[in-house]
Amino acid sequence: MKYVFINLKNFAVKNVLIFILFIVCAVTDVLIILFSHGAFQNFKASKDFEKQKKYVFNYTFSFGDIIDTQEDSDGRILSYFGTDSITPVQLREVLDKLDDNSKASMPGMYFSLMFDQDELKIDECFDDGQPYLMSAVRIQYDEELNDYSLYESYVDNMSIRKGRYFTKEEYASDENLVVLPSGAKDDMIGKNVELLGKSYKVIGIFGNTVQEEFQVPFKTLGDNCTISSISFLDDNALDTESFFKLKKAFSEVLTCNVNFPPIDTIDMTEIKFYNSVIFMSVAVAIASAINLAMLFRYIIRSRAKQTAIFMLCGCTSNKIRRMYIAEIGMISVTIYVIFALVFNYALLPKLTLFFEYIKVAYNFRVYMTIFGIYIISIYLFLNIVILFTNKRSPVKMMKERGK
């Protein structure tokens, strides 16, 4: 190992430009290998996810004993209707148990809340008496806020007749704000109304298409409300791991049954996923290994006299080969570890802006698989280069120009 460190020092000091070029190439190769896998997997995942979204939107799950089902024209069970219900507080407790990755990958949720009309007590908001009212909740995880907030597709297609709708920050907060149905009087904007046992400030009135629905921030809904069923929204598809975590979270919080219909999920850990890791990584890693091996060939030839002296002193070709392998191995392993961390924590969050599903392509097992492929490729091609470069006799190498 002593001579390995000496060679590394001499490599960096006496061949500065080649050393820098070698480091730059190694760093570039690592980043290209990691990105290539993610870009390829993003393409595959996007097709699977988009195909599944149209089914996810129809799935509804319920609580308690199953009393009825709903099927589509193909006989697929889309919904179960149960005998029990949960509260918004319990639902928030379930969602809080999920990790950030699961929250981000899960589709949004929709549910409606029914009330005894005597509970609402907002007759003064309407000219012709209070209509039958319900509250609809559409929540979607917002990574910027690290919380559940507005369902963006609904906001894009929603109309407000008077006032305004919630901001993302308001809807994710516990601020008592309310948007009233279209039949509410215009002069209610800015006033406070008694709703669900609390005082809410009116900030907007829906357009004519929303005649019975009022909305308040999700966190302001308490135990005085009940949820009998929940539907998935179509902003995302369900991956198997996140769905399993959701079911586990429900079982930890609730004592009643949770009736999920037979949902098709996307298993991001299945065999074909890791086949794509190997396929892409091997292809790029071989090209990278050849590039680094040919670059290191220059260094080997520049050490011809040193190698010849080692051999004349009794050092075998096999020991010299292992010394060179250890030298490049130390550089390659160090660079991979450092820039895999840089890629995961600095570059990957930025790439999700352009590749929607790229984040699901990476986990610890993937990084280790790519690492193994990268190192093995370098090892194999470097051995070939060393074998052919050092095939000459010590006398011939002594006659060559070298340092």
pLDDT in tens, 1-10: 565 666 666 6
Q: Lowest-pLDDT range, 77-91, 244-258, 366-380?
A: 366-380
- Mean pLDDT on 142-163: 88
User: What single-letter amino acid sits at 215?
Assistant: Q
The residue segments making up the domain with residue 39 are 2-46+269-399
- Specify whether 279 is located in the same domain as 200: no
Task: Say if residue 261 is exposed, middle or buried (CB neighbours under 10 Å; 0-12, 13-18, 19+).
Answer: middle
Residues 242 and 102: beta-carbon distance below 8 Å:
yes
- Specify whether 184 is located in the same domain as 163: yes
Task: Determine the Cα–Cα distance for residues 147 and 135; give it in Å rounded to an integer.
Answer: 20
Residues 123 and 130: beta-carbon distance below 8 Å:
yes
- Specify whether 111 is located in the same domain as 239: yes
Flag whether 264 is in a domain: no
Say what the pTM is: 0.59
Task: Determine the Cα–Cα distance for residues 209 and 161; give it in Å rounded to an integer.
Answer: 10
Q: What is the pLDDT of residue 310?
A: 63
Question: By C-alpha distance, which of 260, 265, 238, 240 is closest to 250?
Answer: 260
Task: Determine the Cα–Cα distance for residues 366 and 354; give it in Å rounded to an integer.
Answer: 21
Q: What is the pLDDT of residue 373?
A: 81
User: Count of residues for the chain?
Assistant: 403
- Specify whether 28 is located in the same domain as 60: no
Q: What is the pLDDT of residue 178?
A: 93
Summary mean pLDDT of the chain: 79
Question: By C-alpha distance, which of 327, 274, 316 is closest to 3?
Answer: 327
Percentage of residues in the chain having pLDDT higher than 90: 24
Flag whether 287 is in a domain: yes
Q: What is the pLDDT of residue 296?
A: 65
Q: What is the pLDDT of residue 271?
A: 41
User: What single-letter amino acid sits at 31?
Assistant: L
**What is the phi/psi pair of residue 52, to 5°?**
-80, -25
- Specify whether 104 is located in the same domain as 228: yes
**Final residue before a domain boundary, out of 259, 279, 309:** 259
Q: Lowest-pLDDT range, 101-110, 143-152, 236-245?
A: 236-245
- Specify whether 232 is located in the same domain as 321: no
- Specify whether 82 is located in the same domain as 127: yes
Instruction: Please report which confidence band the pLDDT of residue 367 belongs to, taking 50, 70 and 90 as the band edges.
Output: confident
- Specify whether 277 is located in the same domain as 389: yes
Question: Which residues does 158 contact at the CB level (< 8 Å), separation at least 6?
Answer: 165, 206, 207, 210
Q: Lowest-pLDDT range, 282-291, 312-321, 388-397?
A: 388-397
Task: Determine the Cα–Cα distance for residues 81 and 79; give it in Å rounded to an integer.
Answer: 7
Report the domain count for the chain.
Answer: 2
Question: Which residues does 259 contact at the CB level (< 8 Å), separation at least 6?
Answer: 61, 62, 63, 64, 66, 80, 82
Most confident of 155-164, 202-211, 251-260: 251-260
Flag whether 375 is in a domain: yes
- Specify whether 222 is located in the same domain as 84: yes
Q: What is the pLDDT of residue 2?
A: 65
- Specify whether 145 is located in the same domain as 31: no
Task: Say if residue 27 is exposed, middle or buried (CB neighbours under 10 Å; 0-12, 13-18, 19+).
Answer: middle
Task: Determine the Cα–Cα distance for residues 291 and 324; give it in Å rounded to an integer.
Answer: 16
**Final residue before a domain boundary, out of 259, 294, 317:** 259
- Specify whether 210 is located in the same domain as 67: yes
Most confident of 54-58, 106-110, 121-125: 106-110
DSSP 8-state class, residue 268 = T
Q: Give tens-digit pLDDT for 207-230.
A: 877 667 889 999 998 887 889 999
Task: Determine the Cα–Cα distance for residues 82 and 228; give it in Å rounded to an integer.
Answer: 7
Residues 238 and 263: beta-carbon distance below 8 Å:
yes
Task: Give the residues across from 141 on adjacent strands.
Answer: 148
- Mean pLDDT on 390-395: 54
Q: Give tens-digit pLDDT for 47-57.
A: 666 555 555 55
- Mean pLDDT on 318-334: 78
Q: What is the pLDDT of residue 277?
A: 53
Instruction: Please report which confidence band the pLDDT of residue 403 belongs to, taking 50, 70 and 90 as the band edges.
Output: very low
- Specify whether 187 is located in the same domain as 282: no
Instruction: Please report which confidence band the pLDDT of residue 300 belongs to, taking 50, 70 and 90 as the band edges.
Output: low
Q: What is the pLDDT of residue 364?
A: 84
Strand 160-163 relative to strand 147-150, pairing: unpaired
**Final residue before a domain boundary, out of 206, 232, 259:** 259
